[in-house]
Structure 1
Amino acid sequence: MAQLNDIIQWCNQTLKSDEFKDYAPNGLQIEGKTEVKKILCAVTASQDAIEATIAQHADLLLVHHGFFWKGEAYPITGMRGKRIKSLIKHDISLVGYHLPLDSHPTLGNNAAIADILELKNIEALDPSERNPIGNIGYLTEAMSPEAFKTLLTERLGFHAIHLPANKTSIQKIGFCTGGAQDYISKAFEQGCDAYISGEVSERTFYEAKELNVHYYACGHHATERYGVQRLAKAISEQFNIEYSYFELNNPI
């Protein structure tokens, strides 16, 4: 058993959450029980994830995509109202970390991608960032664009979408999980052969072709299901409490 405030303080310090300008609040978003015996983690605070938290008698739902995003309507009604009502009714805390959980050099989504793909010599995608949101890594041996697509599909469990460039060989790779397709321009500036993110836009097809950087869309959910698991495991080890992961396979 651990104190909720101790968990939040440790996470905030570990992830350096106060150093990020984000699109939603990081840390405690809805306050539940003061004592935490079990954590359930999920990519997104969906109703399914909330119902799983209730069913597993967890006290805290840890997510990458929480609530209260910039530009959202203020009234707590409809779908979001139902979600929040469910959490409050069962005295469950909602804790979310967005950009800090992308960026962290060992617990983050990007760090996990680097490990899964066995990329070496990790660098910042944008050297001017204090806490880089994206990264660059290198394959041990160069691969063809087709072979690299196969590797991504196998390792990430998502049928990667490949927008081709003219390069016949890939070794230097830029990557940023989630909806960061527009960072392909940063990958071009850093001389990358390929760039990986989660989503893709119509404009990305032309950018990949004209910037001569192979683009691979590997799923927003599929590229971001690792950070919350790494963070939950770290919390579990730090505070000696139980955790589990809820997977709802989102095809986007």
Structure 2
Amino acid sequence: MNITQFNEQITSLFEEHLHKYGDDEYGFTHISKDEFHKIGYTTNLTLETIEEAYKNGVDMIVTHHAPWSFLFGMEKACIEKLKQYEMNHFWIHLPLDFVKFGTCTSLFNGIGIDTILEYSTYEEEELPGIGEYKEAIPFSNLVGKLEEKMEEKVKSWRNHDKPVKRIAILTGVGNNTNLIERALEKGCDTYITGEKILYTVQHAKFKGINLIVGSHTFTEVFGVESLAHKLQDRDPAIEIIRVYEEHLE
């Protein structure tokens, strides 16, 4: 695959979502070569993930996050490493959060949800996806499903005695209490996200809704995985591999 073909596939896969949130929500950090053969995917671009990609013969890294400007000096260091290894890097943020195959949907699929009632959206604010099991399951089972899928321990607060049936998910930074209110408005008994603050925990307890918090990185990686598989489906000659990322959070 070459860069032009890659851009065409991204445009086709994301349709109106690609430009809906602004043109600073996706792009290339660095392009070393026009032709590439092996995509390595993960959530974050760091010096460590570049090294892991290099060890595995990757020549195109695809991530959810860029090395953000508030991580002072990281972008420059990553670009130097990409140049050294002659690797490309592409990232896509909000479009991947809110496209139908994106981060929230992929995590729903990972916990075996039966029906997605509403996809995550962004209009004036971010709104969680809503999913439902046909048969309610114990809260402990849901915690176990998440820990098995993400291969990490999660933080969980059981705030009522009922089994779990309807769930709201916003991957990554979903610590705003407005999101808990949205989950309650939609009849959810459980809210899952990738970050919390004190007020997230307090509000969930006060309102009697279960709260589960995984890491930002590993609530979102499955959306990047879905994108990588879609790219491979469209060009079977491309090899894809998940790049190891440390459970840092």
TM-score interval, smaller chain: 0.7 to 0.9
Contact 1:22 1:99 in 2 (8 A): no
Is 1:117 paired with 2:105?
Answer: no
SS at match of 1:123: strand
Could you say which residue in structure 2 is the equivalent of 1:177? 171
CA distance in 2, matches of 1:109, 1:10: 18
Q: 1:91 to 1:131 in 2, by over 3 A?
A: farther
Instruction: Quote the sequence identity (%).
Output: 22
CA 1:15/1:125 → structure 2, altered by over 3 Å: closer, same or farther? closer
Q: Secondary structure at the match of 1:225?
A: helix
Q: Which amino acid aligns with 1:13?
A: S
* Residue in structure 2 matched with residue 143 of structure 1 by the alignment: 137
SS of structure 2 residue aligned to 1:224: helix
- Between the aligned partners of 1:150 and 1:111, the Cα distance in structure 2 is 19
Change (3 A) 1:126 1:57: closer
- The reply to whether residue 93 of structure 1 matches residue 97 of structure 2 is no
- Name stretches of at least 5 consecutive residues in structure 2 with no aligned partner: none
Is 1:160 the counterpart of 2:154? The answer is: yes
Aligned equivalents of 2:86, 2:125: Cα separation in 1: 34
Q: Among residues 183, 191, 195, which one is paired with 1:195 in the alignment?
A: 191
Change (3 A) 1:123 1:22: farther
SS in 1 for 2:221: coil
Q: Deviations over 1:181-231 (max 9, x none)?
A: 222222122121110011221111111012221110022122112122221
- Give the conservation status (yes or no) of the 8 Å contact 1:133–1:176: yes
CA-CA distance at 1:8 after TM superposition: 1.9
Q: Is the 8 A contact 1:8 1:28 kept in 2?
A: no
Deviation at residue 168 of structure 1 after TM alignment: 2.3
Gaps of 5+ in 1: none
| 1:171 shift after superposition | 0.8
Q: Where in structure 2 are the equivalents of 1:13-92 lying within 5 Å?
A: 13-16=12-15, 17-21=17-21, 24-68=24-68, 72=70, 78-92=73-87
SS at 1:232 equivalent:
helix
Q: Which one-letter code corresponds to 2:55 in the other structure?
A: A
